[in-house]
Structure 1
Amino acid sequence: MKPLSSTGFALFGAALVAISYGLARFAFGLFVPPIRAELELTPDVIGIIGALPLISFLLATLFAPLSADRLGARNTAVMSGGFGVVGLALISQASGAVSLGVGVFACGICTGLMMPALTAAMQALVNRSVHGRVSSVMNAGTSIGVAVAVPAVLFLAGAWRFAYGSFAILAGIGVFAAWYFIPSVSRVMPANAAPPPPISVLQWSRLFRLSLFAFVMGFVSSAYWIFAPDLVVTLGSLPPGSTGWLWLAVGIAGLGGAVVADLADRNNPAITQALMLMTLAASLALIAASPGQILIAAFSALVFGLAYMSLTGLYLMTGIRLLPGRLSMGPVLPFMAVSLGQAAGSPVVGVLVNELGYANAFSIFSAVGILAAILSPLYPRYIDHAPEEEVEEETGLQAAYDHQLQGADGEPLPPDTEEAESQ
């Protein structure tokens, strides 16, 4: 194993995330129009198939921490890449809904295993003080993978089988790179190190609220990831090849998500979440209103990419801050919630498209995003991990909500709870 610096590991992790998240998972929506036309699939069937990788992602995420501990970060990452190779190859040879579904299901397993494997490796290679920032950079790799898929649509319109075959080859290269660069151990910890403190009631409460917001964001974003390209082709009468510009815009703007998430992490996460959720909702409304205008559709994709990557990065960093020293839980729970929301939203939007049409379906999902943005004052706050920083008093809805956890007698939280909160 060749050692990597913190920056090198962040960039390498972003490359693996680009393959597992960008190509194996989110690129699917880009190819929905030609796949649906060739395999003669209806929108509701595509909606169900679109939910399969999200379900398998959840199942793999539950297993991934155990795999990283027992098999090590390297073997888990290699196994993730192996599922990616198999899934992408199966999609390239799909002959119907069943074979296509099996392929995307395998790709979901690839996605679910990769981030926990990288997180375990990060514990061994990266200083704890920059875990949040490194995770944010790796998360932005999704945008790189989405952008890589664009040339296949722009220059090989309709050749989705060849595109997925090429993706499988890239995934194979990622497997060998993971074996070479990622350490075999899951983490480095002194033998006499104290175990992390138990999770307090207040921490569980904040994790629950974080997961709820992440679920809603995943639910709303599923409409765009699965059906935005199909919307501009079917409703806007744009050529299938033009959908590549949408995903190129999503990928480019998504790279800015790492910067936004890092700024929000050091300033006001609740306000950032409200702004980004409103932006996410606006992107859905914009593309539904003008699907036939390629420039407006591309602008909506820019807005969507920035909002989605900013929110996922923010949720990732919040999870790390809420559970310091528990990287197998903190960053994993919000990612699971996002995927669960996408798994729930994908078939719902497929049914709505069938019954109400694309414009009405996207408008309904946009309204859900606006409602979630209004509730952003309840977004969980956290105290930075630096012990010397002064703790600020919480006010407003946040303080009122947390006060309920102190008991009916109004007594302050026990000392151990306050200590857990401050970590």
Structure 2
Amino acid sequence: MQTITRIASAGSAATAVAFGPARIGFGLFLPQFREAFSISTGTAGMISSLSFATFFLALGCSYKLIARAGPRVPIVVGMIAAALGLSAVAAAPNMIVLAVGICLASASAGFSWSPFNNAAQRVLYEGERPGALSVISSGTAIGVLLAGLLALSLAFFGYGWRIVWAVFAAAAVGAALANLTALSDTVEPAGDAPPRKWRELLTRSAIPLYLVAFSFGMTNGVYVTFVAARVTEQGGLDGLPSHASGAIVFAAYGAFGLLGLLTARVKSVIGLSWLLRALNIAAALSIAIIAWAPTSWSGVIISAGLQGIFVMMISAVLSLWSERLFPDLSSLSFTAALLITGAGNIAGPAIGGLAASTVGDVAMFLGAATLALATALVLKPGIIREKASTMTAA
């Protein structure tokens, strides 16, 4: 098998597991978890925030592991974490074990996000990298779509949710073995970036990048944690069992997320600033629709589709934007943007769960929608520059 095909296939499998069931599985199955473990909205928010905290910590560990052992190690470690976490959820006897499993599985996304850029740079020709990385990134949408379809199958075949999580765990084992073999040429350490290079990321022109990353983390963290529960608690979609309705959300989320492969083309037509504004407006609409019309088939599918497009495209935009700002530090600046996204992921569900317990679900979702809309309004044309100017003295 050619190197590009081997790496792209294994990478797509890893991202499908890490950003599919390992990352969104808790929100997808929250209605079932609430029934099995009597989880309140506030507790659900805290579990989700803790899982995003492990994602945040794993991002930092991944950077260190790439520097000291090459990209294969963090990817395989991430898949092992996913397998262990997903298995723990499948066998969880109580809420504590469930939370530990969710957190361990979520760490896999942090371990697996950035190493593929490094791996592609090491072993693929320059002309091969964009195509390979597009295939790898598409694994996210595919993983979410398949997780949603498996969750939907519960309503039609009658088996329990634990069986689905056992299937998720088996997929993680397969992805670990695939990447262990596929990335055999990427075992050399990359070396740590000196502290001076990290300081170079503290620039005025980078502030919009960091604000957008944090807003993205907060709003999407709220959406993926609470959307399935919102639809289910309001009675679900007509013609489906209420628990199956949340699965429709994530199936549509993943299916429409495949349009993220068009990010580069859309950016070339309307520019980076306008693309960012459009994506944040789409995110605001997506969240507001769930607040206002959680039982409408068209509303739920439009909401999930907009959110899927938002997530997939803005993830690619953060990479493009960080590279434009810091062409000599593209990998490091993208890692910084991911860390700030992770911080938003931690804050969003915790604040959202508290808000829902205090003022209700509708106010929580509308608050998240307002944040996304405010982000769009702040992003005036021309705010994104080609190269950042430093905030601190060199």
TM-score of the pair, normalised by structure 2:
0.88
Unmatched 5+ residue regions in structure 1? 190-194, 384-401, 408-416, 418-423
CA distance in 2, matches of 1:404, 1:37: 52
1:256-275 alignment runs, 5 A limit: 256-264=259-267, 268-275=271-278
Instruction: Indicate which of 12, 15, 18 corresponds to 1:17.
Output: 15
Instruction: Indicate which of 294, 301, 304 corresponds to 2:304.
Output: 301
CA distance in 2, matches of 1:379, 1:59: 30
In the alignment, is the contact (CA less than 8 A) between 1:236 and 1:293 conserved in 2? Answer: no
1:382 aligns with 2:360: no
In the alignment, is the contact (CA less than 8 A) between 2:67 and 2:189 conserved in 1? Answer: no
CA distance in 2, matches of 1:365, 1:66: 33
**Structure 1 residue aligned with 2:230:** 231
CA distance in 1, matches of 2:131, 2:210: 20
Deviation readout 1:131-167 (Å, 9 max, x if unpaired): 5664454333211110111222211147221111110
Instruction: Give the C-alpha shift of residue 199 in structure 1.
Output: 7.3
Instruction: Give the C-alpha shift of residue 254 in structure 1.
Output: 0.4
Instruction: Indicate which of 141, 144, 151 corresponds to 1:143.
Output: 141
Distance change >3 Å, CA 108–CA 205, structure 1 → 2:
farther
1:352 aligns with 2:369: no
Given residue 177 of structure 1, which amino acid in structure 2 is its aligned partner? A
**Structure 2 residue aligned with 1:324:** 327
**Structure 2 residue aligned with 1:124:** 122
In the alignment, is the contact (CA less than 8 A) between 1:68 and 1:116 conserved in 2? Answer: no
**Structure 1 residue aligned with 2:43:** 45
Instruction: Give the C-alpha shift of residue 101 in structure 1.
Output: 1.4
**Structure 1 residue aligned with 2:167:** 166
In structure 1, the residue corresponding to 2:113 is in which secondary structure? Answer: helix
In the alignment, is the contact (CA less than 8 A) between 1:123 and 1:186 conserved in 2? Answer: no
Deviation readout 1:46-82 (Å, 9 max, x if unpaired): 0000112211111111121221122222222211111
CA distance in 2, matches of 1:204, 1:131: 29
Given residue 43 of structure 2, which amino acid in structure 1 is its aligned partner? V
**Structure 1 residue aligned with 2:251:** 248
**Structure 2 residue aligned with 1:277:** 280
Given residue 160 of structure 1, which amino acid in structure 2 is its aligned partner? W
Instruction: Give the C-alpha shift of residue 374 in structure 1.
Output: 0.3
**Structure 1 residue aligned with 2:178:** 177
CA distance in 1, matches of 2:48, 2:21: 14
Distance change >3 Å, CA 406–CA 33, structure 1 → 2:
closer
Instruction: Give the C-alpha shift of residue 380 in structure 1.
Output: 2.9
Distance change >3 Å, CA 293–CA 59, structure 1 → 2:
same
Instruction: Indicate which of 287, 290, 293 corresponds to 1:290.
Output: 293
Given residue 348 of structure 1, which amino acid in structure 2 is its aligned partner? I
In the alignment, is the contact (CA less than 8 A) between 1:274 and 1:374 conserved in 2? Answer: yes
Instruction: Give the C-alpha shift of residue 241 in structure 1.
Output: 0.9
Distance change >3 Å, CA 265–CA 59, structure 1 → 2:
farther
Deviation readout 1:112-137 (Å, 9 max, x if unpaired): 11123322211212334665664454
Distance change >3 Å, CA 325–CA 231, structure 1 → 2:
same
Distance change >3 Å, CA 37–CA 291, structure 1 → 2:
same
Deviation readout 1:210-263 (Å, 9 max, x if unpaired): 122110111111221011110011124441112211111100110101212453
Instruction: Give the C-alpha shift of residue 15 in structure 1.
Output: 2.3
Given residue 95 of structure 1, which amino acid in structure 2 is its aligned partner? P
Question: Greater CA deviation, 76-85 or 203-212?
Answer: 203-212
Unmatched 5+ residue regions in structure 2? none
CA distance in 2, matches of 1:324, 1:106: 34
Instruction: Give the C-alpha shift of residue 96 in structure 1.
Output: 2.5
**Structure 1 residue aligned with 2:341:** 338
Instruction: Give the C-alpha shift of residue 270 in structure 1.
Output: 0.9
CA distance in 1, matches of 2:16, 2:23: 10
**Structure 2 residue aligned with 1:410:** none
Distance change >3 Å, CA 225–CA 265, structure 1 → 2:
farther
**Structure 1 residue aligned with 2:220:** 221
Instruction: Give the C-alpha shift of residue 331 in structure 1.
Output: 2.2
Aligned-CA RMSD value: 2.7
Distance change >3 Å, CA 100–CA 403, structure 1 → 2:
closer
**Structure 2 residue aligned with 1:414:** none
Distance change >3 Å, CA 17–CA 94, structure 1 → 2:
same
In the alignment, is the contact (CA less than 8 A) between 2:68 and 2:189 conserved in 1? Answer: no
| Aligned positions, number | 382
**Structure 2 residue aligned with 1:58:** 56
1:313 aligns with 2:312: no
Distance change >3 Å, CA 406–CA 211, structure 1 → 2:
closer
Distance change >3 Å, CA 74–CA 375, structure 1 → 2:
same
In the alignment, is the contact (CA less than 8 A) between 1:52 and 1:108 conserved in 2? Answer: no
TM-score of the pair, normalised by structure 1:
0.83
